[in-house]
Chain A
């Protein structure tokens, strides 16, 4: 089943929101996995309940929702307290109705509202100065106050043209049902056009092959005529063929909350407790290079660590604490092979380097992963729809990529992990690589087009956070 190239809807954001385009195929290709029912909505916006865990190759794997959509926007709202109060009421009313209609599970609809620095600086600067938490760890290291939410930066392996965005708000919608995602997008953007001017719509998919079948990445890429799609392994969770949602490789429960690991000084009223930080980026993936230039062992070396011994064809590789690499392990790989793996290089920055007892008494052992990833594959180029086709270099031609969505406790925590991926270790050691060096893990096959950081308030403050504190 090959799609024609022109499957996208051009025009207004409203029309793009209501049409799935190439992604309608997802519903026809993927069967929804069985799910567990959930209770009430948790205080955290970013946590999904009822997420199924299965075993693959003896490894526990989290089964993510099949469909994802992110809508970014700038606000049309005025800056007066009265206008903000009314906007907050309207948005919260829409969100509450979605909460009543859908449980916060893959079978229902996960809705996460995240706010960018432009919102905080323009609409609530005084309250932000008082209540936006400080990152204690980053502040101590840099010798200057550092907030938990910082502007995104270009990393060493990013192209110069990587666009650092300035959206006011981003909304993440996740579900096994495309209809549920569409309902959420309509309720929040189509019906609330007086509040938001959409800047981009980003859509995608993940998984679908754990219970047999080729999986959505292979089917969708093949249908879209992506170079290298035929070589995606049967059942792969993502385009690159390896499972990436090993339970031990994802941050557990509340670990990405601002308050959990003690990285943040929450301020006088702990307004953002139960909130977190979101990094959003879009990355092109060169599938043809991945499968035609690298053999299975080279793909293993690149994805995990050099010399990893795994039987040919295995997709799910253990990523538990005892499999995680330390800084010295990564340095040793660099000295010996002049190569670092993607996961291995991240782990010194993304895993706990000691046992931590959280504020609620939960003990997180050394080696526990901190980031909670919610990334998904896409055929967007780079977005499904954009308000700025020229600025975003938009094309109707499908392209293999990833919308990277990850929750970390702070912007700095994300920055540390991403720098490690470029060979900058947490202690500051730089493992020198040239641009596009084949020793540098995934990076030479990835092209990041857009980045932005957001703050995810707790559910109680998800609508126009801090605005109710206006004088």
Chain B
């Protein structure tokens, strides 16, 4: 079968120079069954994570969405494991990545990778550069970073559009994107074992139902 890694395109999100490409970074070895996050029904950002998300809101000078729930074994802190990385663009856009990888079984990889993005002050879908180099010639093609929309869903006041063909750190992910007060936000999850496509969609639904808005401090 074709390797997923081989299909990762070198994506550069316009205005957001991020080093993350795909879901290949190794993560912690915590078991999938480990306790992950608060299961409270409220949409408040869990106390243990709140300061991280507040700092993020302050840094980008814009409201951000804290996921009060993440699929096991992820949690919403910005440090330790299984946190993956964060990146910022000059235009205040940001990317928060949580990844957990288990490659201990020969021939199979289990991976849970969730990416949250924000684009303060803009609502357009970013443009990615799909770079193809063949026989010494490099061809750059601009393509939407989020594409193949598959309809919309409403979660409270947020109406998300589901995209299934995405680039960069969202490659192989199902992605939900929505607008909030003139800004674009997204959350995506990689479709890979142990979660099936249906389970990933269910995870994203649950993340959306439990999103907590975090405002900058001042």
Q: A residues engaging B (CB < 8 A)? A: 225, 227-231, 284, 286, 288-289, 291-298, 336-339, 432-434, 436-439, 444-447
Known A298-B143, A298-B165; judge A292-B132 contact (CB<8 A). no
Verify B7–A338 contact, CB threshold 8 A.
Answer: no
- Which B residues, 115 to 140, have Cβ-Cβ distances below 8 Å to chain A? 130, 132-135, 137-139
Contact segment of B34-42, B92-100, B191-199: B191-199
Q: Tell me which residues across on chain A come within 8 A of B197, comparing CB atoms.
A: 227-231
Known A227-B191, A284-B1; judge A296-B132 contact (CB<8 A). no
- A423 CB to closest chain B CB (Å) equals 10
- B204 CB to closest chain A CB (Å) equals 13
Verify A447–B191 contact, CB threshold 8 A.
Answer: no
- A393 CB to closest chain B CB (Å) equals 12
Q: Tell me which residues across on chain B come within 8 A of A447, comparing CB atoms.
A: 1-2
Verify B165–A433 contact, CB threshold 8 A.
Answer: no
Verify B164–A292 contact, CB threshold 8 A.
Answer: yes
Verify B135–A294 contact, CB threshold 8 A.
Answer: no
Verify B7–A444 contact, CB threshold 8 A.
Answer: yes
**7 A–B contacts, CB within 8 A, in A order:** A295-B148, A296-B147, A337-B139, A338-B138, A434-B134, A436-B2, A446-B2
Q: Tell me which residues across on chain B come within 8 A of A288, comparing CB atoms.
A: 4, 172, 191
- B98 CB to closest chain A CB (Å) equals 19
Verify B1–A286 contact, CB threshold 8 A.
Answer: yes
Report the nearest A residue to B191, measured CB to CB. A292
Q: B residues engaging A (CB < 8 A)? A: 1-4, 6-7, 9, 130, 132-135, 137-139, 141, 143-144, 147-148, 164-166, 171-174, 191, 196-198
* Interface of B (DSSP majority class): strand
- A111 CB to closest chain B CB (Å) equals 33
Known A231-B197, A445-B2; judge A292-B165 contact (CB<8 A). yes
Verify B137–A338 contact, CB threshold 8 A.
Answer: yes
Q: Tell me which residues across on chain A come within 8 A of B138, comparing CB atoms.
A: 338
Q: Tell me which residues across on chain A come within 8 A of B143, comparing CB atoms.
A: 295, 297-298
Known A227-B197, A338-B134, A339-B132; judge A294-B165 contact (CB<8 A). yes
- B172 CB to closest chain A CB (Å) equals 5
- B27 CB to closest chain A CB (Å) equals 20
Report the nearest B residue to A286, measured CB to CB. B2
CA distance A404 to B139 in the complex (A): 32
Verify A231–B171 contact, CB threshold 8 A.
Answer: no
Verify B132–A439 contact, CB threshold 8 A.
Answer: yes
CA distance A297 to B147 in the complex (A): 10
Verify A289–B4 contact, CB threshold 8 A.
Answer: yes
Verify B172–A292 contact, CB threshold 8 A.
Answer: yes
Report the nearest B residue to A337, measured CB to CB. B139
Verify A291–B134 contact, CB threshold 8 A.
Answer: no
Report the nearest A residue to B3, measured CB to CB. A436
Known: A288-B191, A289-B2. 14 other contacts (CB 8 A): A227-B197, A230-B198, A286-B1, A292-B165, A292-B166, A293-B9, A293-B172, A296-B147, A298-B130, A336-B139, A337-B139, A339-B134, A432-B134, A446-B2
CA distance A439 to B141 in the complex (A): 12
CA distance A225 to B4 in the complex (A): 19
Q: Tell me which residues across on chain B come within 8 A of A439, comparing CB atoms.
A: 132, 134
- A425 CB to closest chain B CB (Å) equals 15
CA distance A437 to B148 in the complex (A): 23
CA distance A447 to B196 in the complex (A): 22
Verify B135–A296 contact, CB threshold 8 A.
Answer: no
Q: Tell me which residues across on chain B come within 8 A of A298, comparing CB atoms.
A: 130, 143, 165
Q: Tell me which residues across on chain B come within 8 A of A336, comparing CB atoms.
A: 139
Report the nearest A residue to B8, measured CB to CB. A293
Report the nearest B residue to A335, measured CB to CB. B137
Q: Sorted from nearest, which 4 A-B pairs have the closest CB atoms?
A: A295-B165, A295-B147, A338-B134, A432-B135
- B84 CB to closest chain A CB (Å) equals 19
- B211 CB to closest chain A CB (Å) equals 24
- B111 CB to closest chain A CB (Å) equals 13
Verify B134–A433 contact, CB threshold 8 A.
Answer: yes
Verify A295–B191 contact, CB threshold 8 A.
Answer: no
CA distance A289 to B4 in the complex (A): 7
Verify A292–B173 contact, CB threshold 8 A.
Answer: yes
- A172 CB to closest chain B CB (Å) equals 26
CA distance A298 to B7 in the complex (A): 13
Verify A444–B135 contact, CB threshold 8 A.
Answer: no
CA distance A325 to B84 in the complex (A): 47
- B192 CB to closest chain A CB (Å) equals 8
Q: Tell me which residues across on chain A come within 8 A of B196, comparing CB atoms.
A: 225, 227
Among B3, B139, B198, point to the contact of A338 (Cβ < 8 A): B139
CA distance A219 to B196 in the complex (A): 16
Q: Which of B2, B133, B171, B174 has the most CB of A within 10 A?
A: B2
CA distance A339 to B172 in the complex (A): 22
- B48 CB to closest chain A CB (Å) equals 33
Report the nearest A residue to B201, measured CB to CB. A230
Verify A293–B139 contact, CB threshold 8 A.
Answer: no
Verify A231–B134 contact, CB threshold 8 A.
Answer: no
Report the nearest B residue to A229, measured CB to CB. B197
Report the nearest B residue to A435, measured CB to CB. B6
Q: Tell me which residues across on chain A come within 8 A of B165, comparing CB atoms.
A: 291-296, 298
CA distance A228 to B196 in the complex (A): 9
Q: Tell me which residues across on chain B come within 8 A of A445, comparing CB atoms.
A: 2
CA distance A202 to B185 in the complex (A): 47
Q: Tell me which residues across on chain B come within 8 A of A293, comparing CB atoms.
A: 4, 7, 9, 165, 171-172
Verify B2–A291 contact, CB threshold 8 A.
Answer: no
CA distance A446 to B7 in the complex (A): 13
CA distance A338 to B6 in the complex (A): 17
Q: Tell me which residues across on chain A come within 8 A of B1, comparing CB atoms.
A: 284, 286, 447
Q: Tell me which residues across on chain A come within 8 A of B148, comparing CB atoms.
A: 291, 295-296
CA distance A213 to B65 in the complex (A): 39
CA distance A467 to B173 in the complex (A): 59
